[in-house]
Amino acid sequence: MLVTKQIEIDMGHRVPNHKSKCRSPHGHRYKIEVGVDDKLISDNKASDYAMVIDFGDLKEIMMQEIDAVYDHSYTLWEKDEDKALWMAWKDRGYKVNLTQEPPTAEFLAVLWYHILKEKLEERKIKIAHVTVWETPTSTATYTGV
Protein backbone atom coordinates (compact mmCIF):
# COMPACT_ATOMS: atom_id res chain seq x y z
CA MET A 1 0.00 0.00 0.00
CA LEU A 2 1.27 3.45 -0.93
CA VAL A 3 0.99 6.24 1.62
CA THR A 4 2.37 9.76 1.28
CA LYS A 5 3.24 12.71 3.47
CA GLN A 6 4.07 16.27 2.46
CA ILE A 7 6.02 19.06 4.11
CA GLU A 8 7.00 22.51 2.88
CA ILE A 9 10.22 24.46 3.31
CA ASP A 10 11.63 27.78 2.17
CA MET A 11 15.09 27.58 0.63
CA GLY A 12 17.36 29.70 -1.50
CA HIS A 13 19.57 28.40 -4.28
CA ARG A 14 20.92 29.14 -7.71
CA VAL A 15 21.73 27.06 -10.77
CA PRO A 16 25.04 28.57 -11.90
CA ASN A 17 25.11 27.32 -15.50
CA HIS A 18 21.44 28.02 -16.20
CA LYS A 19 20.69 29.95 -19.39
CA SER A 20 18.02 32.09 -17.72
CA LYS A 21 17.26 33.93 -14.50
CA CYS A 22 17.71 30.85 -12.29
CA ARG A 23 21.43 31.60 -12.54
CA SER A 24 20.86 34.38 -9.98
CA PRO A 25 20.34 33.66 -6.27
CA HIS A 26 16.64 33.23 -5.51
CA GLY A 27 14.35 31.16 -3.36
CA HIS A 28 11.34 28.89 -3.49
CA ARG A 29 8.61 27.56 -1.26
CA TYR A 30 9.36 23.88 -1.86
CA LYS A 31 6.78 21.20 -1.23
CA ILE A 32 8.25 17.75 -0.67
CA GLU A 33 6.18 14.58 -0.84
CA VAL A 34 7.49 11.23 0.32
CA GLY A 35 5.73 8.04 -0.65
CA VAL A 36 6.29 4.77 1.14
CA ASP A 37 5.00 1.51 -0.27
CA ASP A 38 4.88 -1.44 2.07
CA LYS A 39 2.63 -3.89 3.80
CA LEU A 40 0.26 -2.97 6.62
CA ILE A 41 1.55 -3.60 10.13
CA SER A 42 -0.15 -6.77 11.34
CA ASP A 43 0.60 -6.63 15.05
CA ASN A 44 -2.85 -5.85 16.47
CA LYS A 45 -1.32 -4.63 19.72
CA ALA A 46 0.94 -2.07 18.02
CA SER A 47 0.12 1.63 18.02
CA ASP A 48 0.49 1.68 14.23
CA TYR A 49 -1.57 -1.49 13.63
CA ALA A 50 -3.17 -1.54 10.15
CA MET A 51 -0.87 1.27 8.96
CA VAL A 52 2.19 1.22 6.72
CA ILE A 53 3.76 3.88 8.92
CA ASP A 54 2.20 6.36 11.30
CA PHE A 55 1.91 9.67 9.43
CA GLY A 56 3.36 11.41 12.49
CA ASP A 57 6.42 9.16 12.43
CA LEU A 58 6.96 9.81 8.72
CA LYS A 59 6.58 13.55 9.28
CA GLU A 60 9.09 13.44 12.14
CA ILE A 61 11.69 11.78 9.90
CA MET A 62 11.07 14.34 7.14
CA MET A 63 11.31 17.24 9.59
CA GLN A 64 14.59 15.97 11.05
CA GLU A 65 16.27 15.10 7.76
CA ILE A 66 14.91 17.82 5.45
CA ASP A 67 13.26 20.67 7.35
CA ALA A 68 15.87 20.98 10.11
CA VAL A 69 18.72 21.01 7.59
CA TYR A 70 17.33 22.84 4.55
CA ASP A 71 14.49 25.12 5.69
CA HIS A 72 15.53 28.78 5.59
CA SER A 73 18.92 27.86 4.19
CA TYR A 74 20.85 28.63 1.06
CA THR A 75 21.87 25.55 -0.88
CA LEU A 76 24.51 25.62 -3.56
CA TRP A 77 26.58 23.35 -5.74
CA GLU A 78 30.00 22.60 -4.23
CA LYS A 79 31.57 23.69 -7.56
CA ASP A 80 29.71 27.01 -7.65
CA GLU A 81 32.14 29.79 -8.58
CA ASP A 82 30.59 31.95 -5.82
CA LYS A 83 31.00 29.28 -3.13
CA ALA A 84 33.43 31.43 -1.10
CA LEU A 85 30.82 34.18 -0.75
CA TRP A 86 28.27 31.80 0.69
CA MET A 87 30.77 30.03 2.92
CA ALA A 88 31.55 33.43 4.47
CA TRP A 89 27.85 33.62 5.33
CA LYS A 90 28.04 30.14 6.83
CA ASP A 91 30.99 31.26 8.95
CA ARG A 92 28.71 34.01 10.29
CA GLY A 93 26.16 31.42 11.42
CA TYR A 94 23.80 31.29 8.44
CA LYS A 95 22.49 27.96 7.16
CA VAL A 96 24.38 27.04 3.98
CA ASN A 97 24.33 23.58 2.40
CA LEU A 98 26.58 22.22 -0.32
CA THR A 99 25.42 19.66 -2.87
CA GLN A 100 27.39 17.40 -5.19
CA GLU A 101 25.38 18.62 -8.18
CA PRO A 102 23.56 21.89 -8.90
CA PRO A 103 20.54 22.11 -6.55
CA THR A 104 17.84 21.64 -9.16
CA ALA A 105 14.47 20.16 -8.23
CA GLU A 106 15.60 16.96 -9.93
CA PHE A 107 18.80 16.68 -7.92
CA LEU A 108 17.05 17.59 -4.65
CA ALA A 109 14.52 14.80 -5.25
CA VAL A 110 17.38 12.31 -5.67
CA LEU A 111 19.29 13.68 -2.66
CA TRP A 112 16.33 13.64 -0.30
CA TYR A 113 15.22 10.21 -1.55
CA HIS A 114 18.55 8.67 -0.55
CA ILE A 115 18.66 10.46 2.81
CA LEU A 116 15.13 9.31 3.67
CA LYS A 117 15.63 5.81 2.25
CA GLU A 118 18.35 5.17 4.81
CA LYS A 119 16.19 6.38 7.70
CA LEU A 120 13.12 4.45 6.54
CA GLU A 121 15.11 1.25 6.01
CA GLU A 122 16.05 1.40 9.70
CA ARG A 123 12.30 0.89 10.31
CA LYS A 124 12.10 -1.73 7.55
CA ILE A 125 9.87 0.57 5.46
CA LYS A 126 10.32 0.82 1.68
CA ILE A 127 10.45 4.29 0.16
CA ALA A 128 8.62 4.58 -3.16
CA HIS A 129 9.30 8.12 -4.28
CA VAL A 130 10.19 11.68 -3.42
CA THR A 131 8.46 14.46 -5.34
CA VAL A 132 9.73 18.02 -5.11
CA TRP A 133 7.56 20.96 -6.13
CA GLU A 134 9.80 23.88 -6.99
CA THR A 135 6.78 25.94 -7.99
CA PRO A 136 3.07 25.12 -7.78
CA THR A 137 3.18 23.83 -11.37
CA SER A 138 6.69 22.31 -11.62
CA THR A 139 7.71 19.02 -10.01
CA ALA A 140 10.45 16.42 -10.12
CA THR A 141 9.83 12.88 -8.90
CA TYR A 142 12.50 10.32 -8.14
CA THR A 143 11.64 6.65 -7.66
CA GLY A 144 15.07 5.19 -7.14
CA VAL A 145 15.50 3.92 -10.67
List, for residues 39-51, the tens digit of each pLDDT value: 998 899 989 899 9
| Range 57-66 average pLDDT | 98
Q: How many CB atoms lie within 10 A of CB 11?
A: 21
Kindly give the pairing relationship between strand 26-37 and strand 2-13.
antiparallel
Provide the residue ranges of all domains of the chain, joining segments of one domain with +.
2-142
Residues 6 or more apart in contact with residue 86 via CB below 8 angstroms: 74, 76, 80, 96
Residue 132 three-state SS: strand
End-to-end distance of the chain based on CA atoms, in angstroms?
19
Across the chain, what does the average pLDDT equal?
A: 96
| Range 104-110 average pLDDT | 98
- The fold of 2-142 is Tetrahydropterin Synthase; Chain A (3.30.479)
